[in-house]
Amino acid sequence: MTEAVENAARTGLPMLADLVSDGDVVVLSGAGLSTESGIPDYRGETGRRRRAEPMTYQAFTGSEAARRRYWARSHLGWRHIARARPNAGHRAVAELQRRGLLAGIITQNVDGLQQAAGAREVIELHGALDRVVCLSCGERSARERLDERLREANPGWTARAETINPDGDAVLRDEAVETFRIVDCERCGGALKPDVIFFGENVPPGRVGDCYALTERAGALLVLGSSLTVLSGYRFVRHAARHGVPVAIVNRGATRGDPHALVTLDAPLGATLDALVAELPA
């Protein structure tokens, strides 16, 4: 065990195990759960080392140049996301579900790693990068197909990413973006967008309603790897607190939800969740 996990084991881990062992737990996961798989975050330890300027929905829909910039950067960044594999934290959540201790899983992540670890019926609050949607006709298609089409449209394009930002956003030189060719919907010719919620875009109300319903019926809400800075996830912590549902948080660093939490653990996600699973009866 690392020192951080040992400290957690002496303090909050037994309390967390007691909460989880009662079952009906709803997991709310954030980017911090995927950093150990090599995917950076916006606000955690990896996020603080970069100045990320995420694409907004308004910029993407309002400008072909913005869409070219996004798809050029994402075309390279997608390779990084596609290579990522589930880590110990993802596998621990899937194991908790396998043991019948979870009532549901809500993820703010768009990388699909929770499902790749074996979790089922995950609510993808912000969508998923492995799907693409047409802004005109609404048809959804596989990201792999778009990747093939972009490679065909850009033969000899040899740009190299200077760094990878969250959500598969690769930092490129301006000249590499300017020479990139984007492709449109094969069905109607409309503009294509990743099937994710951009900054400035609203999560579909039905999806939010499902998350609220899960939260208020939960035996406990377990937040994993989220600073809860953005209202999109924080609202479910507030909702749980209003309904008397105990909240537990495992994250590197303080979170906006800490005042509502019964248990908070500042520790590595993978090792801590491994230790949690080991505390529980098989």
169 assigned to a ligand binding site: no
237 assigned to a ligand binding site: no
Contact 76, 172 (CB under 8 A): yes
37 assigned to a ligand binding site: no
110 assigned to a ligand binding site: yes
196 assigned to a ligand binding site: no
CA distance linking residue 33 with residue 60, whole number of Å: 27
251 assigned to a ligand binding site: yes
211 assigned to a ligand binding site: no
225 assigned to a ligand binding site: yes
Of 75, 126, 239, 260, the catalytic one is 126
Neighbours of 225 (CB within 10 A): 28
CA 259 to chain centre: 23
CA distance linking residue 193 with residue 132, whole number of Å: 6
44 assigned to a ligand binding site: no
CA 132 to chain centre: 17
253 assigned to a ligand binding site: yes
CA distance linking residue 221 with residue 25, whole number of Å: 6
CA distance linking residue 122 with residue 115, whole number of Å: 7
188 assigned to a ligand binding site: yes
Contacts of 92 (CB under 8 A, 6+ apart): 270, 273, 274, 276, 277
126 noted as active-site residue? yes
CA distance linking residue 31 with residue 41, whole number of Å: 5
Residues involved in catalysis: 126
Binding-site positions for Zn(2+) read 134, 137, 185, 188
Binding-site positions for NAD(+) read 108-111, 225-227, 251-253, 269
